[in-house]
A = this chain, B = another copy of it.
């Protein structure tokens, strides 16, 4: 029941000696999602020994180079290494134009199907749904069209207590309804309440990836009560004017959004190349929202399974 986010890149527009542009890989119940794909992402995937052939879906927040210039190289490597399984890409419509042009220039015909899903400019759209995960898109406030993504696992069915089932001599045929929360009524009319037969499943976990955006309280409701939120923090708050002018946020602003949204935890990233040391950004955010961590490359964040009614910080 994994729900893990691994940071592959933490830099903003220009990379530094030890910071790559934005990319993250999510493993949700063994489904692999890549979120943004800055230059060098395929090398970072190799470096951190991530099985990138298992990536089934790639989400690109926007078309600034530091968020997508690693995509063509990754697509090409997957092709050269013999991938045949379908790959889904979510991005703004023009992304597919650049992919097609570059495939044409290299005279490459991919061995696998590439299914492109253009992002819309409406928040809340469900852009992907499978047995385990629902992904919603959220519109951000940046210089060019830019989307964030909210990954929510689907809640598992209630857990059957088999000893109670045996005690009550309940037939197997009744179990699927019981899993859904129904009481059991025997042929003689005896009612066994569902709570005597099942345990509630853990709460569904949610991760919000908020790529480049200026400070915008409209985002708070979109991510209310989220388990983990990544919010960009390009600058320290002394540069709030510069943040505003470039449609970016400060560490303090990222923390404020997390606090207002009642998020359980915050990751900040997309650090300007001007900051050699990142501790001051962390300190600034922590002063507003204690449970903050830095998006350090190679770092894996796990959202723990959480039983109903418990609160994990």
Contact = CB atoms under 8 A, between A and B. Distances in A.
Interface string A63-96: 1111001101100110011000000000010110
B77 A14 contact: yes
A65 B102 contact: yes
A172 interface: no
B13 A76 contact: yes
How many A residues touch the partner, as a band?
35 or more
A100 to B, nearest CB: 11
Nearest to A49: B17
A43 interface: yes
User: Max chain B CB contacts within 10 Å: which of A15, A20, A39, A101?
Assistant: A39
Nearest to A39: B73
Given A14-B80, A80-B14, A64 B106 contact: yes
A11 to B, nearest CB: 10
Interface string A88-127: 0000101101100110011100000000000000000000
User: Max chain B CB contacts within 10 Å: which of A17, A66, A97, A106?
Assistant: A106
A21 to B, nearest CB: 8
B69 A73 contact: yes
A143 interface: yes
A271 to B, nearest CB: 14
A181 interface: no
Contacts of A1: none
Contacts of A21: 73
Nearest to A104: B94
A101 B97 contact: yes
Interface of A: 13-17, 20-21, 39-40, 42-43, 46-47, 63-66, 69-70, 72-73, 76-77, 80-81, 92, 94-95, 97-98, 101-102, 105-107, 143-144
19 contacts: A13-B76, A14-B77, A14-B80, A14-B81, A15-B77, A16-B46, A17-B47, A39-B43, A40-B43, A63-B105, A65-B72, A65-B106, A69-B73, A92-B105, A94-B101, A94-B105, A97-B101, A98-B98, A105-B144
